[in-house]
Amino acid sequence: MTLEKPLTKDIPADGRALDLGGYERVGGYQALRKALRDMTPQKVQEEVKNSGLRGRGGAGFSTGLKWSFTPMGADAPRPKYVIANADEMEPGTFKDRHLMEGNPHQLIEGLILTAYANQADIAYIFIRGEYKFSEERLARAVTEAYAAGYLGKNILGSGYGLEMYLHVSAGRYMCGEETGLLNALEGKRANPRAKPPFPQVSGLWGKPTIVNNVETLANVPHIINHGAAWFQSLSHTKDAGTKLYGASGKVKRPGLWELPMGTTMREILEEHAGGMREGLEFRGALPGGASTDFLVPQHLDVPMDFTEVQQAGSRLGTGTMVVLDDKTCPVGMVSNLIHFFAQESCGWCTPCWSGLNWAKQILKALEDGEGKSGDLEKLEFQAKFWAPGHTFCALAPGAAEPLQSALKYFRDDFERHIQDQCCAFQRR
């Protein structure tokens, strides 16, 4: 049976972007034509909901269910917005960049369909400032879409209109948090907002707003073209569709692969990433980017989907693994991550800005040979203090995951830093 790769099959192998003509030749914008001709907005919502598509940005929430919270009908507040979250700043994650650089019209069509399904008037692509190449290709594709009548007033003679804008972010990890993104788009500091109200009801400038990840949106045209049952058939498990999986670290072939949802970590690492480099052994991995709990060798056969990875004690997150080998210090790795999260905290709530900096200092002391008895207990306390519900957003809870799991699986390494007053890996 041929492995289906709807998201990546049309991306040119030579590094070029698929232009409008090339996208149309492989069936591009047929889903939009079908939706505008044969489907009501509610029917598009229903098809996506029935498909089982879950958000690919990390949270894994049902996309169709999220859309269903949007006020619909003539009495709904106007304007309504849809936003593609392309602020891909999760360390170890590079999947959305691949989609935007290789097939930008796929994202644009998915965003138009999402806007139609939610009766939105305005769409934004919110992209991180460092993604210059993606920005250039998306800007060109948006211009092509307008010229072809896929954007603007009265799209394809349907009576439905949509304006689309490319917004280049000033940066910061917090801009990728849904409500922080909304504040940044409004020209404010990227601080999170208290919820409720949720963006679907009161989002950008107080109007109904849908925010979806790039990979999530890229799935929508294929679901409309082929149906919910087809999308469910692509997966190995109950979580539907394919997934862009990645691996970075000391593997032989770091990279990105579109595979059936539920592909095991072992297959991704050994068959697609080529296994560990010579002389190294697998010790663990953050399965979904930097803000997920470590999984270790006993978890290699866990299917990589939202449900199974959670049952194993972590999260699928973005599906892009950061691999730890047996010659790399887990204390140093976690110290580097906590330094990043502390630097990127917006400072809005005390557990995050104060706690992350405290943990950063303790971990630096451990690395510098200045660790003391009781330091590990302080780190454990901090990780619990950052738990969900203690902060306005998920930045600190995400930062807790690599720290708490490293203390669980690699505690001996932490203890040796205190006992030996140095890092054993630095002596090798």
CA 24 to mean position of chain CA atoms: 27
Q: Which fold has domain 242-325?
A: Ubiquitin-like (UB roll) (3.10.20)
Classify 236 as helix, strand or coil.
Answer: coil
| Tens digit of each residue's pLDDT (9 = 90 or more) over 258-314 | 999 999 999 999 999 999 999 999 999 999 999 999 999 999 999 999 999 999 999
| Tens digit of each residue's pLDDT (9 = 90 or more) over 335-361 | 999 999 999 999 888 889 899 999 999
Helices (H) and strands (E) in the chain, counts: 17, 8
pTM: 0.95
The pLDDT, as a whole number, for residue 58 is 80
* Domain covering 20-233 in this structure, CATH number: 3.40.50.11540
The pLDDT, as a whole number, for residue 1 is 44
Q: Is the pLDDT assigned to residue 87 strictly greater than 90?
A: yes
Domains of the chain: which residue ranges? 20-233, 242-325, 330-427
172: phi then psi, degrees, rounded to nearest 5: 95, 135
| Tens digit of each residue's pLDDT (9 = 90 or more) over 147-193 | 999 999 999 999 999 999 999 998 789 998 999 999 999 999 999 99
Q: In this structure, are residues 386 and 400 in contact, taking their beta carbons and an 8 Å threshold? A: yes
- Give the integer Cα–Cα distance in Å for 304 and 195: 30
Q: Which fold has domain 330-427?
A: de novo design (two linked rop proteins) (1.20.1440)
Reduced 3-state DSSP string for 365-397:
HHHCCCCCCCHHHHHHHHHHHCCCCCCCCCHHH
**Which amino acid type is present at position 232?**
Q
| Tens digit of each residue's pLDDT (9 = 90 or more) over 257-270 | 999 999 999 999 99
Strand ranges, E, within 209-319: 209-213, 242-248, 255-260, 282-286
**Nearest Cα residue to 383 out of 395, 371, 367, 399:** 399
Q: In this structure, are residues 175 and 51 in contact, taking their beta carbons and an 8 Å threshold? A: no
- The reply to whether 242-325 shares the fold of 20-233 is no
Dump the DSSP string for 61-123. -BHHHHHHTS--STTS-SS-EEEEEE---STT--HHHHHHHH-HHHHHHHHHHHHHHTT-SEE
The pLDDT, as a whole number, for residue 11 is 96
Mean pLDDT of the chain: 95
| Tens digit of each residue's pLDDT (9 = 90 or more) over 62-84 | 999 999 999 999 999 999 999 99
